[in-house]
Amino acid sequence: MSRGEGNIAHAARLIRAGRLVAFPTETVYGLGANALDRAAVERIFAAKGRPRTSPLIVHVDSIEMARGLASIWPDAAEVLARRYWPGPLTLVVLKRAEIPDVVTAGLPTVALRMPAHPLALELIRTAGVPIAAPSANRFTELSPTCAAHVPEGLADYVLDGGPARVGIESTVLSLVDRPLLLRPGVIPLPEIEALIGAVEVATAPEAGPHASPGMHARHYRPATPLYLLRPGQGPPEGHGAWLRIGEEMPADPLEYAAVLYETLHRLDVERLDWIAVEQPPETAEWAGVLDRLRRAAG
């Protein structure tokens, strides 16, 4: 595997040749392949050890490219894409036939997102194809928020675009029937509801026809045991790291999200007995961070 600063032309050639490129987005680093090339997308699942029942997000460079991959593009999708793209919002819509089944785990729907990182957009534009990409980590491990986190040997090439600005995975919203939040991110739900009306929140993990891999209970987990502590609770016995809001961790939810995985990656190699995290409040602003912490705690 070679790591590069920003050789877009080389990365785009690899994508067109059916190879895997790890690339920066504003949320986390992705492991990308040509979304229209079945064999290339198969390689993503093999490299990650990801079950083929977990559909991938397809990254586009424009709303126009997204429309071209959807068989139905609802008004709500247009409204949200215009407001949030490029940005950390993934929209699930009915797919067109040219998207191979392996991308969507056999679902008739596809998850689409236009990422807000200049290198990601340039890569898609130069390759001239949509890029299917999950996070560039092995299955159930922590998502990478910088090029150095991408495991050796995972990709044929790593495009280095600096640290991820958002730091946790995108908000995933299904617009196939009534709007349904599949995975919270950094966009507060009331903000989305102000634009498209009421949004139902998917609760039970693995439930329903649109159950998604991000809802898998073992996602986003460091190797070190992580405990989520309620206010007033102290950390366990032994040697560990205590992450309090407004002390070791930022008091602002966006700033917190931006450093969360970086912090867990760093602590995870320190051979600690535990990582104890003060539980954030149950507000819309903290929903994405709280979701990842709950999964990390298991």
Query: 80 or 111, CB closer to ligand AMP?
Result: 111
Contacted entry of Mg ion, ligand AMP, none for residue 104, CB cut-off 5 to 8 Å set by kind: ligand AMP
Q: Does 212 bind ligand AMP (CB under 6 A)?
A: yes
Amino acid at 24: P
81 and 92 Cβ atoms separated by less than 8 Å: no
Tell me what percent of the chain is helix, strand and coil, each rounded to the nearest 5: 30, 20, 50
What secondary structure does DSSP assign to 282-294, as a single string? SSGGGHHHHHHHH
224/293 Cα distance (integer angstroms): 13
**Neighbour count for residue 54 (Cβ, 10 Å):** 18
59 and 99 Cβ atoms separated by less than 8 Å: no
Query: 135 or 171, CB closer to Mg ion?
Result: 135
Q: Does 167 bind ligand AMP (CB under 6 A)?
A: no
Q: Does 173 bind ligand AMP (CB under 6 A)?
A: no
Distances, alpha carbon 238 to alpha carbons 230, 272, 275, in Å: 19, 8, 11
36 and 97 Cβ atoms separated by less than 8 Å: no
Q: Does 182 bind ligand AMP (CB under 6 A)?
A: yes
Q: Does 147 bind ligand AMP (CB under 6 A)?
A: no
Selected range binding Mg ion among 66-74, 100-108, 127-135, 252-260, rule: CB under 5 A: 127-135
Per DSSP, the three-state class of 64 is helix
Q: Which of 35, 76, 172, 276 binds ligand AMP (CB under 6 A)?
A: 172
Q: Does 145 bind Mg ion (CB under 5 A)?
A: no
Q: Which of 149, 210, 221, 265 binds ligand AMP (CB under 6 A)?
A: 210
Query: 212 or 263, CB closer to ligand AMP?
Result: 212
Q: Convert residues 111-140 into a mask of x (bound to ligand AMP by CB under 6 A) and - (unbound).
A: x----------------------xx-----
The site for ligand AMP (CB under 6 A) is made up of: 55-57, 92, 104, 107, 109-111, 134-135, 169, 172, 174, 182-183, 210, 212-214
